[in-house]
Structure 1
Amino acid sequence: MRIAVLQCPSPSGDAERAVSGARMALRAASAAGAGVLVLPEVFLPGYNCADPAAAAPDAALLEELHATALVAGCALVLGHAEREGDAVYNSASVLGTARARYHKVQLYGPRERALYTPGDAYCTFDLGGLRAALLICYDIEFAPHIKALADQGVQLILCPTANMMPFVHVPAHTVPAMAANHGLAIAYANYCGSEGNLTYTGGSLIAGPHGEVLAQAGQHPALLIADLPPRDPSRLSTQSLDLRTL
């Protein structure tokens, strides 16, 4: 499968800018032959907005983007705020050629814990012949979650993120190590630039199932495109099978 990852500045509450950017990236990803495009965390309305729930996308806008992704022939992974009754979630939706939705499990810091309700379930689905799953930002740093998904047969994790300074080690080291240790690919879509009091690390990447970095951005806007290599059974980690519980 060919994967696309968008790295860009946060829309910062500008829904028109966000939707326009998503459509433009979808057209480019589709023209490059990608089967899926991953956007950053809370792309609608923007990660560091004061009240993300107030500007969360409604069902009509999500269906509009779903239709756009269908026309493009490319699944879209969209990070967004989501209100469900009294709860507000940090969500990721798959639109277009696949449909799925996930709520972030590992909320980061006091701000996220004040804004959002944590999710309580994994989300796996079929994507272009691969078993795929969604995680969001901080989730990807917890090995037990990666192991749990790998044990379910997941081959690809799609991860919107808003990783900020000074945590440059996450895209540089943590994500490739998680891919290698659990024998699956990870597409990690981050912001670049600044938003309010946050400066994002950039460094979006696509890591293969043996930990190889197939494509990685610097600290500026980029559209990454990479083909996932076939998994070589002789190189896949056997940690999950070999783990001794003390």
Structure 2
Amino acid sequence: MVSDAKYGRTDSTKCPHSSIDASKTYDRFASVTTGTQEICDLKQTCLPSKPRGGDPYPGVYKYLNVTYECLILGGWGIWEPFGDCSATCGNGIQSFQRKCNNPVPETNETYCIGDHIQNLECDASPCQGSWGCWQTVGHCSHSCGNGTKLKVRECNNPVPTNEGTYCEGENTTLEWCNLRECPVYKWGHLKDLNLTKEELKDFMKEEINELKANLTVDNKNTSSAIRRRISASDDRPSAASFGYFGVVMLATPIVLMVCLDFNHLFPECVKRRIAK
């Protein structure tokens, strides 16, 4: 690190030259500390430029007197693994780190330049294939009585990589389903006998007659017949008169409505009557 830099001549014996008189005293210089610091700080070698403020000793051989202190620059150590590979098999990522300790820098200004962590691809062992979960495909083959359904699985947990072996075993299987017994029908066994229609009728004759007997309607036991038997007749004149009166009362409004709307209901008839 540069602490001071002077350009000029303050001693007749330093940097001897034919233009220098040893018996003469020289004491002129220009400070170039700032410019030299900008060019030389943290450098192992540098070439300072001339001062910008002019020549302090025209015609005299001059020199640059620099006062500096050597600092230890940091240097990177070797890359070392930082953690494990991200994958247990196949290609993964692994972090590596290095330390600024070769040598250790003296100050923060001389710290190593560059990244101290990097991620590199790591090549683990081949991934052997492993089966995923069983998945049901479709429905049960029967609604009852020991059906089966298809189940499949894929070699994707994980998928084999880097020449890893494929999963061993079958990727399909059948599983029992709907194990409950089917309902038993009285004539269910007949479908396996390949009988004709006439043979089936003869075979089921007794059962058919029994069904007919159970399904036949007895007219004597219908609700209307029962009401007729249990309802008493009313022969009183007042009862008959009351019935006739009710019929007249119901029919009168209808007759009036038809008479009032006759012209609208039958306009053609009205026109013909007027024309005559």
Higher normalized strand content (fraction of residues): 1
Alignment TM-score, normalising by the size of structure 2:
0.14
Q: Tell me which structure has the larger Cα radius of gyration.
A: 2
With CA pairs under 8 Å and 6+ residues apart, which has the higher RCO, 1 or 2?
1
